[in-house]
């Protein structure tokens, strides 16, 4: 099916990296009835406020991209916040969507829902087959609960609520705060600033041996609309590039793009996290979607975005 261009579409989390990319993509496609609220206007952790909002706005389609997100340090430092915020956001939005009779909801999760040592590349069936990665267990359990909730509303009430599981993401509106961010924006910021200050080295957390897959957020936004229009089934569906890279090689790539000529110093006292998180993307590819933005090109755009938006970026 194709989403009508005048369909009432609510993008929850529209100021974040994922939500803003989905909003850009929907606008570019010509959608004219896009509903948004900032977290100051609507606290999605407040069930009453969420239900009142759904009654007033009556969205027909919902992209649930609102979440408390962060990198390995933020996740392992604030597990109660990651747990409470993400559970309550998912509970309130998914339940209100059911009560209001929303036609379709797409719930955004993350590749960290899968077991720490899942067979690689990770198939959707690996969910709940083994222990989680401790550093992001709080976030992962909240995201697994959201998938389960969508599936229970499908089973018990016939709701068409689907769950997309993206791999590690990067792109415009990313978080460049070095304590809360993910690895790629952190490396970009560290290397740009080291180049400008002519610093002798840049510190990379961990051993550099973990491997990660990186999907540009514009690719994810396109995949979300694609899935909203063509995927209706229980369980997670992976969204990724199907290729991964070691943190060491990623750092060398960022160093090349930024033009930083100093040393890369690895700090093994910092956590490595999951050894590898490569998604099996054969299911979404079989539906006809695949990622397009090459990693080096995406990094070049992100370096430029960071330099151009440093004043107002989340640093
Ligand atoms: O991106 P990241 O913070 O999260 O870390 P995860 C990925 C790898 O990069 C880890 C290393 O091995 C880090 O030790 N790394 C090296 C760095 N230098 C840095 C640095 O300066 N900053 C950061 N942040 N990492 C996240 C989950 O896990 O994956 C989230 O915590 C989410 O909840 C996300 O699921 C997709 O990839 O390990």
Q: Is the CB of 186 under 6 A from ligand 1?
A: yes
**Tell me, what's the pLDDT at 93?**
98
Q: Which residues pair with 61 in a beta bridge?
A: 9, 104
Q: Is the CB of 182 under 6 A from ligand 1?
A: yes
**Tell me, what's the pLDDT at 49?**
98
**pLDDT, tens digit, 9 for 90 and up, residues 112-153:** 999 999 999 999 999 999 999 999 999 999 999 999 999 999
**Tell me, what's the pLDDT at 42?**
98
166: left (phi over 0), alpha (psi -120 to 50) or beta: beta
Residue 136 CA to ligand 1 center (angstroms) comes to 10
- What is the C-alpha separation between 148 and 2, in angstroms, rounded? 26
CB 68 within 8 A of CB 86: yes
| Mean local confidence (pLDDT), 164-179 | 97
- What is the C-alpha separation between 239 and 236, in angstroms, rounded? 10
pLDDT-derived band at 109 (thresholds 50, 70, 90) equals: very high
Q: Give the contacts of 238 (CB within 8 A, at least 6 positions apart).
A: 111, 122, 123, 124, 165, 167, 279, 280, 281, 283, 284
Of residues 9, 25, 85, 59, the one with CA closest to residue 289:
25
**Active-site residue, from 139, 153, 170, 176:** 139
What is each CA distance from 24 to 4, 18, 90, 104, in whole angstroms?
Answer: 17, 10, 23, 20
Residue 233 has pLDDT above 80, yes or no: yes
**Tell me, what's the pLDDT at 315?**
82
Orientation angle between helical segments 247-258 and 183-197, nearest 10 degrees: 40
| Mean local confidence (pLDDT), 177-193 | 97
| Mean local confidence (pLDDT), 181-188 | 98
CB 149 within 8 A of CB 89: no
Residue 313 has pLDDT above 80, yes or no: no
- What is the C-alpha separation between 314 and 57, in angstroms, rounded? 30
**pLDDT, tens digit, 9 for 90 and up, residues 24-52:** 999 999 999 999 999 999 999 999 999 99
**pLDDT, tens digit, 9 for 90 and up, residues 242-259:** 999 999 999 999 999 999
**pLDDT, tens digit, 9 for 90 and up, residues 259-310:** 999 999 999 999 999 999 999 999 999 999 999 999 999 999 999 999 999 9
| Mean local confidence (pLDDT), 213-232 | 98
Beta strands 245-246 and 211-212 are antiparallel
Q: Can you read off the two tokens belonging to residue 49?
A: 């406020």
Residue 83 has pLDDT above 90, yes or no: yes
Q: Is position 139 annotated as part of the catalytic site? A: yes
Nearest CA, atom 13, ligand 1: 272
- What is the C-alpha separation between 259 and 241, in angstroms, rounded? 26
Q: Which residues pair with 166 in a beta bridge?
A: 239
CB 106 within 8 A of CB 60: no
pTM over 0.95: yes
Instruction: State which fold the 8-174+214-241+280-292 domain adopts.
Output: Rossmann fold (3.40.50)
Burial (Cβ within 10 Å: 0-12, 13-18, ≥19) of residue 241: buried
Domain map (residue ranges) of the chain? 8-174+214-241+280-292
- What is the C-alpha separation between 218 and 209, in angstroms, rounded? 27
> Across the chain, what does the average pLDDT equal?
97
Q: Is the CB of 86 under 6 A from ligand 1?
A: no
Residue 37 CA to ligand 1 center (angstroms) comes to 29
């Amino acid at each position: 099916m194709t989403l009508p261009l005048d369909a009432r579409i609510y993008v929850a989390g529209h100021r974040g990296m994922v939500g803003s990319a989905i909003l850009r993509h929907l606008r570019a496609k010509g959608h004219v009835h896009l509903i948004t609220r900032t977290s100051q206007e609507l606290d999605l952790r407040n069930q009453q406020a969420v239900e009142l909002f759904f009654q007033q706005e009556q969205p027909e389609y919902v992209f649930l991209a609102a979440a408390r997100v962060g990198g390995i340090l933020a996740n392992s430092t604030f597990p109660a916040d990651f747990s409470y915020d993400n559970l309550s956001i998912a509970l309130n939005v998914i339940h209100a969507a059911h009560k209001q009779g929303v036609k379709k909801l797409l719930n955004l999760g993350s590749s960290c829902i899968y077991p720490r040592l899942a067979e690689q590349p990770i198939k959707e069936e690996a969910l709940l087959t083994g222990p989680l990665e401790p550093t992001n267990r709080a976030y992962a359990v909240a995201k697994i609960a959201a998938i389960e909730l969508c599936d229970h509303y499908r089973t018990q009430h016939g709701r068409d609520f689907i769950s997309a599981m993206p791999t590690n993401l990067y792109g415009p509106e990313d978080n460049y705060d070095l304590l809360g961010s993910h690895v790629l924006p952190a490396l970009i910021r560290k290397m740009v600033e080291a180049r400008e200050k002519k610093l002798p080295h840049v510190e990379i957390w961990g051993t550099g041996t973990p491997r990660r897959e990186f999907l540009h957020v514009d690719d994810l936004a396109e995949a979300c609309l694609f899935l909203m229009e063509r995927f209706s089934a229980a369980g997670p569906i992976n969204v990724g590039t199907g290729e991964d890279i070691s943190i060491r090689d990623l750092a060398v790539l960022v160093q090349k793009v930024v033009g930083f000529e100093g040393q890369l110093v690895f700090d093994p006292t910092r956590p490595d996290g999951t050894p590898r998180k490569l998604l099996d993307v054969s299911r979404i590819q079989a539906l006809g979607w695949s990622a397009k933005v090459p990693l080096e090109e995406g990094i070049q755009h992100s370096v430029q975005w960071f330099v151009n938006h440093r004043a107002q970026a989340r640093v």
